[in-house]
Amino acid sequence: MQASLPATTLRDFKISLVKKLASIFEVSSWALPGAENRAAFRMLLEPLFEAREALRIPMQQTFGPANMEVALVEPDMLFIDEYMEDAFASDLTPLDGTMLEKQTMPRRVVCAWGVGLKMKKESTGEPAVMRVLNVLRTPVVLESTLDSAMKEASPVKSLEALQAEDGRP
């Protein structure tokens, strides 16, 4: 992800976000239909912009001396419970031992779902080592969640599958 200069006005923020969203729509063949829906989405961008500004400014200024930072997680990392939280954990309903077995296996992160907070702290020993002290775990999407989502995201059935369901040859 390339760093970009922050849009410091609501207008610039909206224009920049909507422009990039339009690219995603083109690639995915998705669309947000209706002028009302688009207007409603633009309204949602106002509190989003305010929330981002409320976080961006203190992270760059007030909280700098304490080494506090927004905590993200890179894609394809192993899931580490100490720093990360499965954003879909509450949606998992263990039905049998299979689920428990899966949860003990190494899990991989697809991407971050939100931000957490971390603090960098240098140890006092020799040699000094920089440690990460977790403050708020970063919610993440796990590989298993994406796999399930992709199965759900394939609504188109083949002609053969439809014929098989109908009992037709």
Partner 1 sequence: MHRTTETAQKNLEAISTILHLSNFLPFPELLERVNTFNAAISRSASFLAEKVIYKASEAFEEGIQDDIVVTKDMIGGRLSDMLAAQAHNAESSTSRPGAVFLRIIFQIFILNFCVSEIDPCSVISVNDAGKHILY
Which one, 33 or 127, has the nearer CB to partner 1?
33
CA dihedral sign, ordered 102, 97, 91, 86: negative
Give the nearest distance from C-beta 71 to partner 1 in angstroms. 6
Which one, 101 or 152, has the nearer CB to partner 1?
152
- Give me the amino acid identity at 166: D
Give the nearest distance from C-beta 103 to partner 1 in angstroms. 13
Which one, 37 or 102, has the nearer CB to partner 1?
37
Question: Which of 5, 11, 80, 83 is closest to 42 using CA atoms?
Answer: 11
Question: Which of 94, 73, 101, 88 is closest to 149 using CA atoms?
Answer: 88
- Give me the amino acid identity at 112: A
Give the nearest distance from C-beta 107 to partner 1 in angstroms. 12
Give the nearest distance from C-beta 122 to partner 1 in angstroms. 11
> What are 164's two structure tokens?
């098989």
